[in-house]
């Protein structure tokens, strides 16, 4: 493809090499390139792991463990902070992140083995944090569905963040978990502008479809919040109050926001997207990002990487507090029921225990 040429149905317009590669290549238009297929297909590989629960000690997030059924994400969001994780696989955080996916085919069985261990301590687990657990390939692979079945069976507390309306497929499990007080769902919305959303999040459901998902989740009795995420200065930050209002009308009971994050390869990837789709806003966006991070375009420090710092960050926080207070979205999260958890039954030994006498 020509450098910076958009791909139909994909978010990345460049494919930089990963930061761990021994080389770095740069695309150049010498007049000899030929058009390739407009819509690159998705390639799948099986990701075999000894454990599906990942533990963390980050002070920025309210959970200490998570499960990610997939590596990479077909949604193709141009801003996705998880893109750099593909470099660990020797793949590009650009187009490879959207088209070369790995899935944990045995995730449900592995999770069951982890939950049955005598030393396991039950605490809320976050599902689909690095990449969306209900991305398009989940419709046929059903990896997330299998994980949910184990968590519902054991009544394990669960928090979810997604932008996919495919979560409604699993209302039967989620509604039962909500009755036991062991599930919270947050639906992320970046913009209400359908044209901007199509370019920014090419394979994610439309903003209106996400609002409909909030409505159906809330109607099923599932505690549902809206995440204005990411909040992109000079591009969609002016929509914060409108997004919160629309979500409240749909039935959301709480809200949060996260500022645009530009770690590692995301910085040039998002700049290339802006140059292609919003060329007049490039310098404005990056100028405001520098104002939010003490002169840098991104600060990875705990406490500031998700909200920024300085006067502009304070104004955004004040706007959010005022809007959520006015709309009644400033309630604290409902407590999780940790007492409902019941470990899965232990599997019968393959060889019966012999008697000593």
DSSP of 200-236, one letter per residue?
HSTTSPPHHHHHHHHHHHHHTT--EEEEEEEE-TTTT
The pLDDT score that the predictor gives to residue 32 is 46
Mean per-residue pLDDT, 250-256: 96
Report residue 129's pLDDT band, with 50, 70 and 90 as the boundaries: confident
pLDDT digits (tens, 9 = 90+) for 30-66: 444 444 556 678 899 999 888 999 998 888 788 899 9
Q: Inform me whether the pLDDT recorded for 300 exceeds 60.
A: yes
Considering the entire predicted model, what is its pTM?
A: 0.88
Peptide bond into 230 cis (omega under 30): yes
**Which residues sit opposite 255 in a β-bridge?**
226
Question: Which domains are seen in the chain, by residue range?
Answer: 43-262+311-327 (3.20.20.70)
* Residue 142 CB burial class (10 angstroms; 0-12, 13-18, ≥19): middle
* Residue reference for tokens 């994610």: 204
Distance (Å, whole) CA 336 – CA 350: 37
DSSP of 257-290, one letter per residue?
EEE----TTHHHHHHHHHHHH-GGGHHHHHHHHH
pLDDT digits (tens, 9 = 90+) for 90-126: 888 999 999 999 999 999 999 999 999 999 999 999 9
């Amino acid at each position: 493809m020509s450098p910076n040429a958009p791909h139909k149905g994909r978010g990345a317009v460049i494919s930089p090499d990963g930061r761990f590669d021994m080389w770095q290549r740069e695309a150049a238009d010498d007049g000899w390139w030929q058009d390739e297929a407009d819509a690159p297909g998705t390639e799948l590989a099986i990701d075999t792991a000894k454990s599906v629960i990942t533990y963390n000690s980050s002070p920025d997030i309210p959970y200490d463990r998570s499960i990610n059924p997939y590596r990479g994400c077909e949604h193709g969001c141009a801003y996705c902070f998880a893109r750099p994780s593909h470099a660990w696989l020797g793949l590009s955080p650009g187009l490879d992140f959207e088209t070369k996916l790995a899935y944990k085919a045995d995730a449900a069985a592995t999770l069951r083995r982890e939950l049955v261990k005598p030393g396991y301590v039950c605490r809320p687990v976050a599902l689909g944090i690095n990449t969306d657990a209900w991305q398009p390939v989940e419709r046929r692979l059903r990896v997330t569905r299998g994980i949910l079945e184990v968590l519902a069976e054991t009544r394990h507390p669960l928090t979810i963040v997604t932008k996919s309306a495919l979560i409604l497929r699993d209302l039967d499990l989620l509604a039962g978990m909500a009755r036991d007080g062991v599930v919270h769902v947050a639906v992320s919305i970046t913009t209400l502008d359908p044209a901007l959303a199509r370019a920014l999040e090419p394979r994610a459901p439309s903003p209106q479809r996400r609002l409909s998902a909030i409505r159906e989740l809330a109607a099923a009795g599932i505690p549902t919040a809206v995440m204005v995420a990411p909040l992109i200065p000079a591009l969609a930050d002016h929509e914060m109050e409108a997004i919160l209002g629309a979500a409240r009308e749909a039935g959301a009971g709480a809200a949060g926001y996260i500022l645009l994050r530009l770690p590692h390869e995301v910085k040039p990837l998002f700049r290339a997207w802006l140059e292609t789709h919003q060329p007049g806003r490039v310098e404005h966006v990056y100028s405001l990002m520098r104002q939010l991070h003490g002169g840098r375009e991104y600060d990875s420090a705990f406490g500031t990487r998700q909200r920024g710092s300085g006067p502009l960050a304070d104004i955004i926080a004040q706007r959010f507090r005022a809007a959520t207070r006015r709309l009644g979205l400033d309630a604290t999260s409902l407590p999780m029921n940790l007492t409902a958890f019941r470990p899965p039954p232990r599997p019968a030994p393959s060889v019966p225990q012999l008697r000593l006498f």
